[in-house]
Structure 1
């Protein structure tokens, strides 16, 4: 080998190895496979899947001019879960509401807050109507 070339066989010509001090540390064997929802706690990672499309709309018809926000077209959830979801939405909005005819009705124009809570619950909210 000539004088101008540096040996790459790991000899002392390469200088100091920046990873040399890591040899004494104990690391887990293999590469851990990251979860798809690594930022969510383990119990919420299950609910982060897509649970279906839910329409969120504002209505005034038949309510004496009062505005309500309606979440409808739920697929695959029963009345107890809708009531629990309605309580969570009411708490987030700071207003009243009910579950009527399979729909969640919240008092006032609260579409953004309702959509946020539904997204956190794993649904895909879609703004519908006016």
Structure 2
């Protein structure tokens, strides 16, 4: 399988990213669920309105992330240069795709959608990493 196909598969199957923000030279990393839109080529994530993450993104929208490995997997995607911004899409707009990927998201959408803001991360390049020896950049 080539790196582009590996990228698409990992972004479709993996559910979490470690999202890094940085304000005044201080990095901050947290785990968030994500949804990748292959047509728009953006990653969506939701966060509580007005929280620390939102304040950090308002000060500096530059982010990095890596998909979170589960179990004995080693394959993951890493993005060093992403730009996060509030999305025009709401949780309800993306509900079908969220629930198809993560069925438990139905409850989140039903119970907390009005408290959550959807953000999107745009990026031009990602690194696909598999095992100890495979590492390849892909244009997005």
Q: TM-score range by the shorter chain?
A: under 0.3
Which is greater in Rg? Answer: 1
Q: TM-score, normalization: structure 2?
A: 0.26
Q: When the two structures are superposed, what TM-score results if normalisation uses the length of structure 1?
A: 0.28
Greater strand content? 2
